[in-house]
Chains A and B, each alone.
Chain A
Amino acid sequence: MSKFDIEKVERLAGLKLKDDERERIKRDIDEIINYFDILKEVDTDGIDPLVYTKWTRLTLRNDEVHTGLTLEEIKKNRKLFGNNFFRVRRIIGE
């Protein structure tokens, strides 16, 4: 049995595939996840994970005021815009 529970992962990822699509995509992903198994050959005991290379430093920006986007600009990318807010679908009662 595959460890990849696609319907559970869909829920986590905010996706909802159609049945035929789900079957096709699951087949591909099972093949890919099986391929990942070769990483088990690598002894990683005592190795620190690498996320950023050694050159990357987290720095703090100066505490200065910058102008961001204006409301007029933000509205350009959404037709349905409320009075100074993005409109979304119902949340309560689902």
Chain B
Amino acid sequence: MMDITKLTAYETVKRIKSGEIGVKETLLSYLKKIEEREDLIKTFILIDRDRAIKKAEELDQLEHKEGLLFGLPVAIKDNINVYGYEATAGSKILKGYVSLYDASVVESIKRENGIILGKTNCDEFAMGSSTENSAFFPTRNPVNLEYVPGGSSGGSAACVAAEEVAIAIGSDTGGSIREPAAFCGVVGLKPTYGRVSRYGLIAFASSLDVIGPLSKDVRDAALMLNVIAGFDAHDETTVDIKVDDYLDILEGNIKGKKIGVIKEVMDFEVQKELKDALESSIQKLKGEGCEILEISIPYLKYALPSYYIIAPSEASSNLARFDGVRYGYESDGAYLREFYENTRTEGFGDEVKRRILIGTFALSEGYFEDYYLKASKVRRIIEMDFENAFEQVDALILPTTATTAFKLNEKKSPLEMYMTDIFTIPVNLAGLPAISVPAGTDKAGLPVGVQLVGKWFEEALLLRIAHHIEE
């Protein structure tokens, strides 16, 4: 008998629509997988079997099977609001907070008849690269349980890799979709800043946060982007420019396209198998008739310190709203000030407190110019570096990470953890679209990812190139 959970999201919808498989049948296959594997991997913070089954039964009754995601089980990262479900963003301070509305991406998924199966684990407020910063429990890498799944969208990456769901939604502020996708061996797409609405995403760093899919293959990423892309009046940073049919353009050839290899990447220590994977992807592109050029991003190494000033600065402002008065965790205190401090100190975990403190410091009188302002100027220079690069090439290729997944509790200091994001962060600073595609495994059997970066709002070409290099 066919194992439905092996199918891609695209194939699943196609077979449901043709009547070959049922919606409830599909859902039950995934629920069975969840039952078998979830205790070990722990990807979900919340699973709502009953509501999902009820929805599946309703869809099975319909005569016209309409919607791009008809009957497809989808998982949502827990920092995104789904009406009626708790949204904790992996934090104790939001424990008990129930969403009063759907995020725009969730609304779009429901409109296309996708089924929300549950909420996935993540680093607290999406701050982390391993999902170990979740206030509730760490998620494990389904490929090898001793290893982290990456983060912060670790739950979303792991549940797709473990075939517990057909496709998942994550968020990416400095690599939080691409890094876990690479570590778990799935596809992770970070769209252009402004391509997908963040309305209903619990904000971390508003000038960097983007929502995107984690999927089994590039076609599935294109399918989900078709559903979630576009202008939204609820998010004024979304840009009102044409949305392509990303599925339609996938197959076309990429002959004559210019692909840039970033020279400065090799200044960093990169694990051998990742260099090899990059090289074989480059060979594939050459085989497809692409022209490979060496490109310089001179200020690449300054992206990381710039990001770790800007992101915490924005976070310190965004997270000021969590004061225990209107929702979530509340502590004690005779006076208001004491109550605020107790609630926040008990409600936030270590990494979140570190970032709030760094951000508050970087914005404070006497330090603003040397830190926040300086970092924002460096950000401009990095954006200009990319602009220059894209005058010469159509896309860039580089490793998603410098190493494959690491073991739980392996990273000793926060700074060491930050270094994990060296190749993903520059892309967020410039607001560009990028995708991580699986490219084999290392000698320990851990997945390797290759990253492609496209021009602003040119996800169509980015996905097409990615489709050509995926295995």
Is B430 on the interface with A (CB-CB < 8 A)?
Answer: yes
A89 x B380 contact (CB < 8 A): no
Q: Is A53 interfacial (CB-CB < 8 Å)? A: yes
**9-residue interface stretch from B24-32, B65-73, B172-180, B302-310:** B302-310
Which of B15-23, B114-122, B286-294, B367-375 lines the interface with chain A? B367-375
How far is A61 from B376 in the complex, measured between Cα atoms in Å?
Answer: 28
Chain A: interface residue total (CB-CB under 8 A): 54
With both chains docked as a complex, state the minimum distance between the C-beta of A62 and any C-beta of chain B, in angstroms: 9
Closest to B382 in A: A50
Contact status A47-B380, CB under 8 Å: yes
Q: Which residues of B lie under 8 Å from residue A55 when comparing CB positions?
A: 192-194, 239, 431, 456-457
Check if B378 sits within 8 Å of A10, measured CB to CB: no
A19 at interface by CB-CB < 8 Å: no
Chain A residues lying within 8 Å of B356, measured Cβ to Cβ, are 13, 15
- A29 & B325 in contact (Cβ 8 Å cutoff): no
Main secondary structure of the interface of B (DSSP, over half): helix
Closest to B375 in A: A39
Is A63 positioned at the interface, with any CB of B under 8 Å from its CB?
Answer: no
Contact between A53 and B430 (Cβ–Cβ < 8 Å)?
yes
> Contacts of B418 on A, CB cut-off 8 Å?
32
Once the chains bind, are A39 and B378 in contact (CB under 8 Å)? yes
Partner of B358, one of A3, A33, A42, A61: A33
Q: Which residue of B lies closest to A80 (CB)?
A: B330
| Interchain nearest-CB distance for B329 vs A (Å) | 11
Residue of A nearest to B414 (CB): A28
If the complex has contacts A15-B353, A44-B381, A61-B233, are A9 and B374 also in contact, measured as CB distance less than 8 A?
Answer: no
Query: Does residue A56 face the partner (Cβ distance < 8 Å to B)?
Result: yes
Cβ B98 vs Cβ A9 within 8 A = no
A91 to chain B, nearest CB (A): 5
B378-417 interface bits toward A, Cβ cutoff 8 Å, 1 = contact, 0 = none: 1111010000000000000000000000000000011100
- Residues of chain B within 8 A (CB-CB) of A18 are 345
Q: Tell me the minimal C-beta distance from A23 to chain B in angstroms.
A: 13
Known contacts A9-B360, A28-B415; A16/B345 CB under 8 A: yes
Across-interface contacts of A17 in B (CB, < 8 A): 345, 353
A-B contact list, 16 entries, CB within 8 Å? A6-B357, A10-B357, A12-B364, A25-B357, A28-B413, A28-B414, A28-B415, A32-B414, A36-B308, A36-B371, A39-B309, A51-B207, A76-B100, A77-B326, A89-B336, A94-B338
Extra contacts, 17 of them, besides A51-B376, A53-B383, A56-B193 (Cβ < 8 A), are A9-B360, A9-B361, A13-B316, A15-B345, A16-B341, A16-B342, A18-B345, A29-B354, A32-B358, A38-B301, A49-B376, A53-B431, A58-B236, A61-B236, A78-B325, A94-B336, A94-B337
